[in-house]
């Protein structure tokens, strides 16, 4: 059988484009950070409230959300962000919100005009500070107990949600899109990666082509399980429209208490050997980056010690770790066990022990010892 040259060239092109993504590399030899490393690019605080009423099974109600804004009878989230930015030097805020709030408890991706306007009010206060603002869908890879794309909402609904959000903010370069908070117990990580891919594609097709998109893995987005859970391999296949991975950043969490739950006020580890060091090696080997969008501890001496060590290590590896965002301020009561809520005394804001000792860029923790 004789084929034309044009046919042969077309077939060759098709076969080349169909090649599977090569698997992530492993680098047995330790890769050191460059000399330029030493300062984290994004350091911030979560401003919670719109996520209130959300359970770890993704059961949220629009009525359970509590906007952290004085106009909506919440705490002064705008004032908190202004203080954190101007007095402490923070440059990043993560604004968690439940999927159900954005759609007013209607399954699908259509934004409810009234509810989205409330969330956007907080977003505008964030942008007004000049900080980077992270949108975080706080649903644990679920909607009312069912896993997205694996028995729960179809991927198309989730992609539509993100496409609509991205369309609204496509011209805001200082926004990051946090695809999902803390997926956990997801049966098939490869199917989850396909769900994430559809959200990424929707965001880019909506015109948000330059913003960072944060990709979360299984196991509560744990930095310590990112590789072993298969999340690293699966999410490495997620691509932009042009096939690149530019501005696709892995989203990881890590707490410092004995069970990594973030529910105790004493810290027992800096997570370096069990999480950050192996993850830094993998990221450097594969030329990728991650951001730690949730970490925190109690306002105790043990947490000051270990958190400062963790931050110092992240800073020394700032070529692969973009930064961290502490949990949490916003509408939490100052008595909350992981409170980073500043207390206003007249015109002065007073920070928590952990904030002023470690979390604040002005604390000097990025230059401190790691053990």
Please tell me whether the peptide bond between 152 and the residue prior to it is cis, using omega within 30 degrees of 0: no
Phi-psi region of 353 (alpha: psi -120 to 50; beta: other; left: phi over 0): alpha
Helices (H), the chain: 5-17, 77-83, 99-103, 113-128, 155-169, 189-205, 231-235, 277-285, 301-316, 353-354
DSSP3 helix / strand / coil % (the chain, rounded to 5): 35, 15, 50
Q: What mean pLDDT is predicted for residues 84-98?
A: 99
CA distance 214 to 290: 8
pLDDT tens column, 112-129: 999 999 999 999 999 999
| 173 classed as catalytic | no
Statement: residue 223 has pLDDT above 50: yes
Statement: residue 7 has pLDDT above 80: no
| 182 classed as catalytic | yes
Statement: residue 51 has pLDDT above 50: yes
Share of the chain above pLDDT 90, in %: 91
pLDDT tens column, 130-183: 999 999 999 999 999 999 999 999 999 999 999 999 999 999 999 999 999 999
pLDDT at site 295: 99
The CATH class for the domain spanning 42-367 reads alpha beta
Q: What mean pLDDT is predicted for residues 190-205?
A: 99
CA-atom Rg of the chain in angstroms: 21
pLDDT at site 11: 42
CA distance 201 to 124: 25
pLDDT tens column, 285-319: 999 999 999 999 999 999 999 999 999 999 999 99
pTM of the model: 0.94
pLDDT at site 8: 39
Q: Which residues pair with 216 in a beta bridge?
A: 251
Residue 371's pLDDT band, with cuts at 50, 70 and 90, is confident
Among 182, 225, 309, 340, the active-site one is: 182
Among 125, 225, 294, 340, the active-site one is: 294
């Amino acid at each position: 059988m004789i084929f034309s040259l044009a046919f042969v060239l077309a077939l060759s092109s098709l076969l080349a484009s169909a090649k599977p993504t090569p698997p992530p590399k492993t680098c047995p030899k330790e890769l050191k950070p460059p000399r330029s490393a030493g300062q984290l690019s994004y350091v911030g605080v979560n401003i919670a409230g719109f996520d209130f009423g959300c359970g770890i099974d993704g059961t949220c109600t629009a009525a359970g959300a509590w906007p952290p804004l004085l106009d909506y009878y919440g705490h002064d989230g705008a004032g908190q962000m202004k203080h954190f930015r101007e007095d402490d030097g923070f440059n990043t805020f993560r604004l968690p919100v439940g999927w159900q709030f954005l759609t007013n408890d209607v399954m699908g991706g259509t934004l409810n005009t009234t509810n989205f306007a409330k969330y956007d009010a907080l977003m505008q206060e964030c942008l007004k500070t000049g900080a980077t603002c992270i949108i975080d869908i706080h649903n644990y890879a679920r909607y009312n107990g069912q896993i997205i794309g694996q028995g729960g909402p179809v991927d198309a609904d989730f992609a539509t949600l993100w496409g609509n959000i991205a369309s609204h903010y496509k011209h805001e370069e200082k926004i990051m899109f946090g695809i999902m908070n803390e997926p956990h117990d997801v049966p098939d990580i490869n199917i989850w990666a396909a769900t994430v891919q559809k959200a990424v594609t929707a965001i880019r097709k909506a015109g948000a082509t330059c913003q960072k998109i944060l990709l979360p893995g299984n196991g509560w987005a744990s930095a310590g399980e990112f590789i072993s859970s298969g999340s690293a391999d699966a999410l490495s296949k997620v691509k932009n429209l042009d096939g690149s991975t530019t501005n696709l950043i892995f989203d990881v969490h890590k707490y410092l208490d004995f069970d990594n739950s973030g529910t105790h006020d004493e810290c027992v580890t800096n997570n370096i050997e069990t999480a950050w060091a192996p993850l830094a090696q993998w990221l450097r080997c594969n030329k990728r980056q991650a951001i730690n969008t949730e970490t925190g501890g109690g306002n105790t001496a043990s947490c000051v010690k270990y958190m400062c060590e963790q931050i110092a290590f992240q800073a020394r590896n700032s070529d692969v770790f973009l930064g961290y965002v502490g949990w949490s301020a916003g509408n939490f009561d100052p008595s909350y066990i992981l409170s980073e809520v500043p207390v206003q005394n007249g015109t002065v804001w007073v920070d928590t022990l952990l904030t002023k000792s470690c979390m604040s860029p002005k604390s000097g923790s990025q230059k401190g010892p790691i053990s």
